[in-house]
């Protein structure tokens, strides 16, 4: 028995046409995203993606490098006094959480102010990427020194 590939390809082409038609007519699940100009600007898309990707990498790095401990871990050291502050191990997870909150808050605020103050939107999203960079630096220094 032989398989008829023409029917298979015809169904594939029909699926591609229906998918293209669905996309061009509008997303039924998220109609506001198609109308919104906010996510069509590449700087905004790339800033949000870079912030979320950096945050995901930070979560993975902290999970990989920090092992759970019962005793508190050093969290701050000064030259004069030595270890100033000790904390539980899960305080290392506060940095990625704060970065995620900042990225989501800046993306939402940027969406809110996009029409009236577009430059503020670009500043907010650039700031969220810089916050992720600062969180990475803080975690790298803490993990390298103490964990």
- What is the number of helices (H) and of strands (E) in the chain? 5, 2
Structure pTM?
A: 0.71
| Contact predicate 106/94, CB 8 Å | no
Residue 84: in which H helix or E strand, if any? strand 82-87
The encoded tokens of residue 109 equal 């605020």
All structural domains of the chain with their residue ranges: 1-29, 36-146
Q: How much is the pLDDT for 10?
A: 45
* pLDDT tens-digit series, residues 101-114: 999 999 999 999 98
Q: How much is the pLDDT for 15?
A: 43
- Mean pLDDT by 10-residue block, N- to C-terminus, for the chain (147 residues)? 47 46 52 69 91 96 91 79 83 94 95 89 94 94 76
| Contact predicate 10/4, CB 8 Å | no
Cβ atoms within 10 Å, residue 100: 19
């Amino acid at each position: 028995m032989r398989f008829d590939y023409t029917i298979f390809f015809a169904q594939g082409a029909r699926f591609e046409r229906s998918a293209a038609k669905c996309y061009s007519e509008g997303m039924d699940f998220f109609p506001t995203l198609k109308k919104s100009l906010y996510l069509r600007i590449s700087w905004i898309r790339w800033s949000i993606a870079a912030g979320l990707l950096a945050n995901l990498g930070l979560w993975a790095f902290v999970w990989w490098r920090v092992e759970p401990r019962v005793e508190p871990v050093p969290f701050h050291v000064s030259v004069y006094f030595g270890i100033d502050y000790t904390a539980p191990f899960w305080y290392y997870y506060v940095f990625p959480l704060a970065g995620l909150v900042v990225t989501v808050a800046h993306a939402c605020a940027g969406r809110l102010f996009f029409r009236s103050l577009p430059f503020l939107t670009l500043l907010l999203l650039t700031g969220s990427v810089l916050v992720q960079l600062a969180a990475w630096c803080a975690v790298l220094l803490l993990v390298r020194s103490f964990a």
